[in-house]
Structure 1
Amino acid sequence: MTEKGFTITTILLIAACILPIAVFNYWMDPMWTFGSNHKYNQVQTVINERQQKTNNLYFNKDDYDTLLIGSSRSTYINQNEFSNRKVYNYAVADLSFKDYDTMIEFAKTQKGMDLDTIIIGVDFFKTSIAETSAESDFNTYIDQVKEPFYRYKNLLSLDVLNYSRRNYNLSKAGDIVEPRNYNRSNVADALQIDSQQKEKDTVEKISKFRNEFYKDGKYEYNEEFKEMLETIQRNNPNTEFILFTTPIYTGLFDALLEEGRYPDYVRWLEDITEVFGEVHHFMYPNVVTNNMENYFDGHHFYPHVGAMIAHVINGERGVEEPDDFGVLIKKDELENRLNKLIENHD
């Protein structure tokens, strides 16, 4: 065989090996860079929500006029439940408020105009300095998506291939086997667990929050929270802001009170209402939060609760939404409303 023939044969062999990998990765699209959508990729494992959702916004140009951001709790809200808005759910695990402005500006850039509405799910435990000490890292994912040939290099990745295989097997079986799996419409579902395991996980979560997040010496309110709210309001003067507090299981809320965090909880709500005038408040004892079955660990609610939140925010409270779940609190009525909510619990 001539040297030229050997070279051509080698190239063809390499192509024959890598082409099926590239085609399969394109077809399955686990990194959300090509918009592939079929019955065999409807169950998506979470690889890195920050990168996956950023990829989706950058490459697939979803039609949205409203952005929903928040932590993993807010990922369980189906963006389609906001019937009067075109929402993109950009919530990701372990989100710090320090990332708010970066995420919003990126989404606006992809949209090419101001957003009509920004909905933010805020978590009390994420107001502590310990939980928000790191600087914003979201630009890392934005820079990644802009790298030359980024999405094409993923087609040749063996790691991506492993995710493609996993998504194929999960989709073929129709199984939700992880705490969070997505479909191709950016809607998350949650693993259903039995009541005994749920109670065990909830007890462990209450202990963790009590000892790691709420305890004196470990919790200190981060004053930068209010500064960030003022920043995003200033940077989006033509946008409506809707803030809501994420509901936690009442046992977890009781741990907050018992560890002396109530003044910080009040300050958190004061900061929100001072900047935006009002807040949709769900984080207090009520029919939904009193029921452990609405959570899989007391910390993360199931998607049906997310649907309730969306309906209440929309002003579309129906038979599924208890009357005591969710109150719109204005700045000038905060103290009185909170006192009544806590008195009812006592």
Structure 2
Amino acid sequence: MSARSAEQGEPIPPGGRPLRWSVRLLARLLRGFYFRHVHIVGARQHPAQPRGGRLIVSSHRNGAIDGYTVLRAFPGVQGLVSVQLLQHPLLRWMFDGIAVVREKDRQRYGIRRATFANPVDAGCAQLRAGGDLLIFPEGSSEWSHRPLPYQRGAARIARTMLAEGASLELVPLGLHYRAPDQFRSDVEILVGAPLELPTRAGEETDRDWEWRIHQAIAEALDAVSVNCPDPAGLAVAEAHATTVAASGGSYAQAFIDAQQHLQTHQPLPTALPSQPMRAWPLDWLGVAAFVLLAAPVLLIGRIAGGKADARNTVSFFRMAGGLVAALLWLPCLLLATYGWPLPMLALWCAAALGWWRWPNVMHRNAQ
């Protein structure tokens, strides 16, 4: 749902307005190509559609692609997004959602206040229609040992809906990237149990009630996401989770378990040693074929990733740069396949093997 349509009073269909199909398709393609596995773990591995609106609050770890990751668990979820993503020609094609316009955005882009609806009002309209709404309470992402300060927008929306007596389910998500800046790494989405929101107490003011809701949301997010005592603790929890995941366990759940032990100053549980990834000669041949076939895409993605200002934005820059390169390079490959079908089909097959086995060759020491 665009914020503009909400401002103009366009009716929202029952079940809410999902994300544009083109954005969902692009998210599926980029997510599937760039990451090796995106698993859903936790209390509800396959969240069922609730009877009313569903508010999803998620940790924010890896830049703009966090939205693509959440779509793996909640396809079509509508979200609050920065208006910057909706103003840029390329990014407007890659993203959709309810615009959040800050004062500096109005000055930078010359946006009038009447252009976009209030994001709280637009978000509540989506929930009233029974749709899914995604919010990143941190507002921005950072790869750190603890979350950024949580903003109160999600609590304000939840309080508004509860005050109306509307049916609302709130689900916390923790996004766990084993290596946020590596191609073909693994991701896990830790789905927390629906949060029981505090009801209004007696003569409590709206502000006090909203603050208690905000605290409940913050505690629920901290329970499923990164909230380590210090950077050293983050490194310890990551190492423990990596060992567990290599043995077939859940990286996200092992990380949270280690984090809880660190918070209470208890020794970490023993993780079984695992065998390192094994690369066969055929794997190396496949990776070489993949690099040859996708050389311009990988090169432009690498260059674009080098422009990122922090570790948490590297993957997004690589995705955006690689996408532009792929749009130009893919027609060339198709023409070459048409002209030399047998050798090109053999190269395609070898490259597909290399793409699949990439972690075994390139990540053996990291994972």
Shorter-chain TM band = under 0.3
TM-score, scaled to structure 1: 0.27
TM-score, scaled to structure 2: 0.26
